[in-house]
Chains A and B, each alone.
Chain A
Amino acid sequence: MTSFRHAAVLGFVLIAAGLSVFLFKTISLGYPLASDATATVWDFEIFLEFEGRDEPARLEVYLPAGDVERTFPQEQFYNGPFGLSLATETETRNRKAVWTYRYPSNRKVLRYNAQTIGETASTPLPDSFTRAAPKIMPFEADPIKRQAFIVWTGDLRRRSADERSFADLTLRETFEARDVGEEYADEVAVLLEDKAGVIGRLELARQTLQSAGVPARIANGVYLTEARRRVETKHWLEYHLDGEDFRYFPDGAPARFFTIWYGASDLVAASGIDELDLQIALQAQRNAAIDIVRQSGGQPARLDRVFGFSELPLTTQLVYKVLVTIPVGITILVFLRQFIGFKTLGTFMPVLIGIAFRETALINGLLLFTTLIALGLALRFYLERLQLLLVPRLAVVVIFIVMLMAGITITLTGANQAIGLSISLFPIVILTMTIERMSIVWEETSAGEAIKQGFGSLAIASIAYLAMTNNQVEYLMYQFPELLFVLMGLCVLMGRYTGLRLSELWRFRQLVE
């Protein structure tokens, strides 16, 4: 059976192709699977207010660098009269905004705005960190400090078992033990001198790790914990040891944070101005997770342009939102017919009825459909006596259906019944066809068969309607159109099913004995 193998191969290839794109998008690109998945987007703003001194002014401000892991859709600059240039430091990859103005006077405001979802502890450090760093001995110029450093690190090395405990000890001695006078090494006091702030301590820890060949850097940024007008900048140490990334947060580790710049320098370097007021503001917004993935640029955006609907006009998008769910209904119908043995009027009529239910909702739709079909059938049987030809007979049924629908709508509106009967052109055609097919079955086979097929059709229509209007189904089909290949493959495979249907087990029950 070569055609059987051919169909099987085609089916599985289609399913595999669809699924692999789907899995790539969900696993590698982070498309969320749940339709209601949301993520918090943080509105991040640097706000600078200052007094011009009427002399050339220059403000250098670090800006968050846009890299792949935490790219942001749009950033905005409010420059006022200032000139803006952007620079990138080669060594640290820090990005810098340089605002300049020749003679600013009175109060000036500069702003920078971006959206981000931030980073977490699992955000990887850059690749350069995985290579062993050169061992750099600090304090080359200062013999006293140099001596103290050698004594202290030698002591640390003796008390540690490996690189990791060495790093742990280093950080503990630079930060935590300082209040307990006895354990606090004199050498550390010498090394820290007066700059005992967090940055000074982090810098010492960084130098110590670097001297042992551990790549490390100071990172500065904000914690994404609450929306605030004035957010403190925080500092932490990032280093890479034994193939693992570490972050040491002196102020306690946040769930999410946002790095602005690296190194020990200040956020703003200004000259020619007075009364600088620096504010960093955070504002939280909940967005659909899918939009965030989309807007973050890079691969998802490119993929969507080719395989997605997001570039289409909005009205067309809405049409496709409905259209892509129809194959789901059709696949369900195929299954119910080929495997269960549902009897239906017409081939795809039940799915079309299911689509028509979109405009009436399920219960109303079922009531409306059964009523109209019953009345239409009655008319159809009356017309049978007149022995009309096929086309005029169909026309009479269509006109009758239109009259009935108009009657129902007017009555219900008059009775102030707001049950949302939105009637459109589409269901009329479907109703007429259903009545015609049902009456044919009624005459050619039997009334029982016609009713059986009618109920089968309505049952499948209801199931298809529930599936097609399900939010999750709609979301999956619309965001992952590649699933159409999976459905197609399933239908190809079902098309070669030659086994018995569930209903045939009942039909042939007497052969079982």
Chain B
Amino acid sequence: MLETFRTLRREGVIGINERNVRYVNALNPRKLLVRVDDKLLTKQLADRAMIPNPALYGVIANARDMKKLPEMINHPDGFVVKPAQGSQGKGIIVVESPLKHGWRLASGRRIALDDIKFQINNVISGMYSLGGQPDKALIEYRVKFDDVFGKISFKGVPDIRVIVLKGIPVFAMLRLPTAESDGKANLHKGGVGVGIDIATGLTMNAMQHDRIVDVHPDTAHPLENIQAPYWDEILLMAARSYEVTGLGYIGVDIVLDQERGPLLLELNARPGISIQIANRKGLRFLLEKASKLASEKLTAHERIAIAKTLQATGAAQSEAVVGAAA
């Protein structure tokens, strides 16, 4: 057991304690957290920083706004209803297309306008927000996800999670929904995480339930060596999220849209640590190096350049450390 502890330490694997004390608590000022907790605010900030994100059709905060609902949802490609302060995908309705009387949900079921209104009322009353506080419902563009990951995802929308330290992307992972995760890309629900090389955008090792896997559990398609498209754009969006939020340690979630390319889905101020298993590498060395190199004067492009070189040297170093220990 002590040996395991030492090995993991040597490999730079960080635990929840270290993530909380050294990164989340130290780099994410509490008063700035509202920028990631309130998705409407995140969207507005992202728009200002030219980070593409799903177009906002409207916001419903009260009964008066509700009157404008038919107008807001009048889109042939469907729309998404999202609580502004929801977490973990709760309370989200994905509407695919209009039907004669009502709408068709992504799951195929039919939904009437009144049902949508009821759902939105729930959102407004705070059913899905933290602590049950009154919330707003966002009506936004429905992402038509890019087919690149079609073979390795089962239902649902795959997304890309990038860990960004003071504006420098350090780790990335592709999150794939599975039958078990019920179309959600969340890892603790059984989604598959695939490490992505920051320098190239190529997928590497994969994991599910903290265990290493090689193929997608539902499609049996190999997960390695798939090129993530728009990789440099994705890195740029992730790096810019730092200016948007002012938070030093965030997880940036990005989806790929068929027409509009990468879109910022949401930001997370307490990103999980399972990404280390997907990348087969501890976070510590990279985080510490990035922390030393980061500076307020660097532009987003310069930070991405740093991120790419870091990856090469970081890998070499951690191999050297492990080699020396063995």
A contacts, CB < 8 Å to B: 338, 341, 387, 389-391, 443-446, 449, 495-502, 504-505, 507-512
Contacts and interface: CB of A to CB of B under 8 A. Distances in A.
Contact of B126 (A390, A496, A498): A390
Nearest to B20: A498
Contacts of B9: 499-500
A58 to B, nearest CB: 80
Contact of A391 (B132, B210, B212, B281): B132
Contacts of B22: 498
A55 B7 CA distance: 98
Nearest to A389: B125
B132 A500 contact: no
A28 to B, nearest CB: 39
B263 interface: no
A390 B188 contact: no
Given A391-B132, A444-B88, A505-B5, A498 B125 contact: no
User: Which of B5, B118, B282 neighbours the largest number of chain A CB atoms within 10 Å of its CB?
Assistant: B5
B18 A498 contact: yes
A511 B18 contact: no
Contacts of B211: 510
Nearest to A494: B17
B277 A508 contact: yes
What 4 pairs across the A-B complex have the smallest Cβ distances? Answer: A498-B18, A390-B132, A500-B15, A504-B15
Given A444-B90, A512-B8, 7 more contacts: A444-B87, A495-B21, A496-B21, A500-B13, A507-B277, A508-B276, A510-B212
A150 to B, nearest CB: 79
Contacts of B13: 500, 504, 508, 511
B18 A505 contact: no
Nearest to A445: B188
Nearest to B210: A507
Nearest to B188: A445
B16 A389 contact: no
Interface residues of B, number: 37
A501 B14 CA distance: 10
Interface in B1-35: 1, 4-5, 7-9, 11, 13-18, 21-22
Nearest to A500: B15
Contacts of B282: 511
Given A389-B125, A445-B189, A510-B277, A497 B11 contact: no
Contact of A512 (B4, B16, B125): B4
B280 interface: yes
B276 A511 contact: yes
Nearest to A504: B15
Contact of A504 (B11, B16, B90, B132): B16
A94 B126 CA distance: 82
B15 A501 contact: yes
Contacts of A449: 188
A501 B17 contact: yes
Contacts of B14: 498, 500
Main secondary structure on chain B at its contact with chain A? mixed
Interface of B: 1, 4-5, 7-9, 11, 13-18, 21-22, 87-88, 90, 118, 122, 125-127, 132, 188-190, 207, 210-212, 274, 276-277, 280-282
B277 A511 contact: yes
A502 B282 CA distance: 17
B5 A387 contact: no
A500 B4 CA distance: 10
Contact of B4 (A391, A444, A509): A509
Contacts of A501: 15-17
Contact of B189 (A341, A446, A495): A446
Contacts of B90: 443-444
B123 to A, nearest CB: 11
Given A498-B22, A507-B210, A512-B7, A446 B280 contact: no
Contacts of B126: 389-390
A501 B13 CA distance: 11
A327 B11 CA distance: 36
User: Which of B1, B17, B212 neighbours the largest number of chain A CB atoms within 10 Å of its CB?
Assistant: B17
A508 B15 CA distance: 9
Given A390-B126, A511-B280, A499 B15 contact: yes
Nearest to A501: B15
Nearest to A440: B90
Nearest to A7: B21
Contacts of A511: 8, 11, 13, 276-277, 280-282
B104 to A, nearest CB: 21
Contacts of A504: 8, 13, 15-16
A106 B11 CA distance: 99
Nearest to A1: B22
Contacts of B7: 512
Contacts of A512: 4, 7-8, 11
User: Which of A338, A501, A511, A512 neighbours the largest number of chain B CB atoms within 10 Å of its CB?
Assistant: A511
Given A511-B8, A511-B277, A512-B4, A499 B17 contact: yes
21 contacts: A390-B132, A444-B90, A445-B88, A445-B189, A495-B21, A499-B5, A499-B9, A499-B18, A500-B8, A501-B16, A501-B17, A504-B15, A504-B16, A507-B210, A507-B274, A508-B276, A510-B207, A510-B210, A511-B8, A511-B280, A512-B8
Contact of A500 (B5, B122, B207): B5
Nearest to B322: A513
A384 to B, nearest CB: 11
A433 B211 CA distance: 33
Contact of A508 (B8, B88, B127): B8
A363 B301 CA distance: 62
A244 to B, nearest CB: 52
Nearest to A390: B132
Contacts of B277: 507-508, 510-511
B24 to A, nearest CB: 12
Contacts of B125: 389-390
A280 to B, nearest CB: 66
A176 B282 CA distance: 85
A505 B4 contact: yes
A389 B15 CA distance: 37
Contacts of B118: 387
B163 to A, nearest CB: 16
A501 B126 CA distance: 35
B53 to A, nearest CB: 24
A508 B6 CA distance: 12
